[in-house]
Structure 1
Amino acid sequence: MEENNKLRSSLDAYLNGYAKDEDIERLSGWLAKEPANRNRFLQLCRRFESKDNKIEKKLHELHSKLGLPEHRYNHRLPEIGYRRAVVRTLSAAALFAMGILSGVLIYRLSHNVDRQQYTEVFTPRGEKTKVRLPDSTIVYLNSESSLKFLADNFHKERQVDLTGEAYFEIAQDSREPFDVNTHDYTVRATGTAFNVMAYADFKRTETTLVSGKVNILYRDKTIPLEPNTKFILRGNTISVEEAEVFSETCWKDNKFNFNKIPFTELIRRLERWYNVDIAINEPGAFADQYYSGTFRHEETIWQVLDVIRMTTPFDYETIGFREISITAKPNNN
């Protein structure tokens, strides 16, 4: 209880502009524990912004301190550039430096073992962003996803750790491959474009190759991919299939396309897309339901749910802030 009170006090100090080093350190430690804390932090900042314009001033001050470009909230994907100069502005004594860019949380983490300094970009629910890495590789980061990399030595060791989903446009460098590490396998490329979906709560990990060539490094296997093919890992089962590239990559263009996915996965994707929590009462009632379709981000969650329930009868209601409950209707047939 005492620790929670200290955390609230540090958050209030940060938002109101009088945070001390101990407040920043406490908040940073809490943010590093799990993605849910980062998402909660950004939601609190947005609520604060709606009540008071002081957050705009704090963003400006923080951007100036870190040497980052200014961005404002909008529906376009902001591009974040990482330069060595940004890393050098960080205090060696600080455990983290935090920033908020258009709903994207950025912080630096120093490992005590080797004193290597990592940068992590976390995109919360309802947001997407475009990241330019030190080697000019472009990464589109989907909602509730994170990308971690060692910025100082990136040109010599091009590798990132991905949780969630991202689309990569790899800068050409035949001498130094580019590795994307997921919790299941590594994608190795030199100059190419591909999409990786590696959400921990999905029952599979996928890599879709758009152009060029990549190798999938899985255990003791090296599996090459050709354009318009997709590597899928379900449990311990691997497969290479023909890919629907538009369906797999259109999320970065603010389109939500899905093809024969189960109802529970559709709901999880909608939660990330619209930054809501959806509770499914009696999820077994939807066990055999699969869905295909396309939506644009301009459409509200209510419009999307209304379309879905045209084929699957259910009722929904709002039960709290950004909380929705879904209940299946009885089948009268």
Structure 2
Amino acid sequence: MPINKKSKIKQERLDATLEKYREALGWLEKKGFNIKNSRLAKYDKSYKKLLDNWGKETFKEIIENKSYSSSVYEVYEVIQIHQRLIEFDNKEVNESIKKLLSGVELYEEDDLKIKPSSARDFSFELYMASYFKRAGYSLSFNTVADFNAYDKKDSFFVECKRPAKEETFGKNIEKALKQSAKRFLSDSKRCQKGIAAIDISHLLNPNHEFQVIESLNETSDYLSVADEIYSPMIKEHFDKYGENCVAVILNWRLPMLHIPNQQLGLYNKVFSVPIFNSNSTSEEAFKRMSQKLTNSVGI
């Protein structure tokens, strides 16, 4: 199916996204990182090619180009990290960013390696940290947890995991919850709780391909996966951690092609599954956190 060559609005949106991505790369370069030899530079070239070829390639050609889908996924993520963590300039954050630059371009190449690169693990950690930062939490990376998000009342220790297979999903959650509860500080006056943040993008889309949809309502199918499959299992098996932990946060991002509107982008969803004990400090902390995260949507 051909793309409408007169679809100027789509070209303008792609161009605006590429400009934001290059601003993010410029931010990294100012920090002293070598972007030119990193995988992030490859996404710049792939996204630019997608923009230049818009209207010249068919949907089939776009869908089959793995460099395109990887670039869409990575470009949006780096933009979000830049926009929300731009003022951070400390050793811990810079170390994570340095690791983010490593690794191979395509996800499928990473999957074929005996020991996959940890670059995308650190990318997810930074992304989740930016999610809490947007909600108004202060962040600390000077902790054995992946990061600590805190305000005047609460201190959440967040452990991030990216399961590669369905059979490791539960193990990743349990490991994250156990780790987070061990990070509490003995002298803290805040309400300290643990959180497991789990990226299920690979489970929903193992080949990291574009998902072609005829209606934007189809994106709700992915939400139902969390509602009907993952959420009940999490509540059933992990509520035993509800005294020290408040929730398992599920995150997924999928490159999307909406054919009728000729719209291309990244579908992103963050979904909190509560595991707190009723009438406990965990329940109170979860409600405060949920309110702040909900209010930050759209910022």
TM-score norm. by structure 1 comes to 0.26
Relative contact order higher in (CA < 8 Å, ≥ 6 apart): 2
Higher relative strand content: 1
Higher relative helix content: 2
TM-score norm. by structure 2 comes to 0.28
